[in-house]
Amino acid sequence: MPETTPLTTLPLPTPHPEGVSNDEFRAAMSRLAAGVCLITAQEPPLTDDGTRGEDVGMTATAFMSVSLEPPLVLVSLREGSRMDDLLAEQPLWAVSVLADHQLQVAGRFAMKGRISDRLLFADLACERGPLSGAPLLTGALATLECRTENRVEAGDHTLVVGRVLAAALPSPDSAPLTYFRGRYRHLAG
């Protein structure tokens, strides 16, 4: 009988007490396609000399509609992130739902260790939301201006529920930008 080599088994990922590992959870959730949004807000000015505070933005794929009556949306923010800290003190914020031609915007505002937000916004076509004061992207599929109604701590994230104060459709016929299996994707039509 020929000699056989025993199979080498790889160590299994360490599960949480509930039974699922971070890798297993991440892999499963990466199979959920999501729309891509730019969440924006304006920091309050540091002085009372009439200058505006700095604009802040972040890419989000964990964004959803919550209620029609009243109109509510939810965004999930990494706890302790700049946007989480800002929205803890600034109740007004905005959402630009990204079109597929805005892929570079999504990547720019998702970078870790990125440059200042002021530079990130410098060459973007935006208009200032009249209710939130936050930047709204020109050419977005839809834009929303929101006021925080509730904040809920959820693990290593904060769920921010916002009342929609205004909604517009700057470029409603463009294709959406989506996120699936760890990459930005174009929706096949």
* Token pair for 167: 């909604």
Contact status, residue 39 vs residue 93, Cβ threshold 8 Å: yes
Please tell me the distance from the alpha carbon of residue 148 to that of residue 150, in angstroms, as a whole number. Answer: 6
> What pLDDT score does 6 carry?
59
> What pLDDT score does 186 carry?
81
**In a structure prediction context, what are the per-residue pLDDT tens digits for the chain, which is 189 residues long?**
556 555 555 555 555 667 788 888 888 888 888 899 999 999 987 777 767 788 999 999 999 999 999 999 999 999 989 999 999 999 999 999 999 999 999 999 997 766 678 888 988 999 999 999 999 999 999 999 999 999 999 999 999 999 999 999 999 899 999 998 888 888 765
Give strand ranges (E) for 79-156: 92-97, 126-128, 135-137, 142-154
Please count the CA atoms within 13 angstroms of the CA of 111 that sit on its side-chain side.
Answer: 12
> By three-state DSSP, how is residue 80 classified?
coil
> What pLDDT score does 29 carry?
82
Contact status, residue 132 vs residue 92, Cβ threshold 8 Å: yes
Residues contacting 136, CB < 8 A, separation 6+: 40, 94, 96, 126, 127, 128, 129, 143, 145, 168, 170
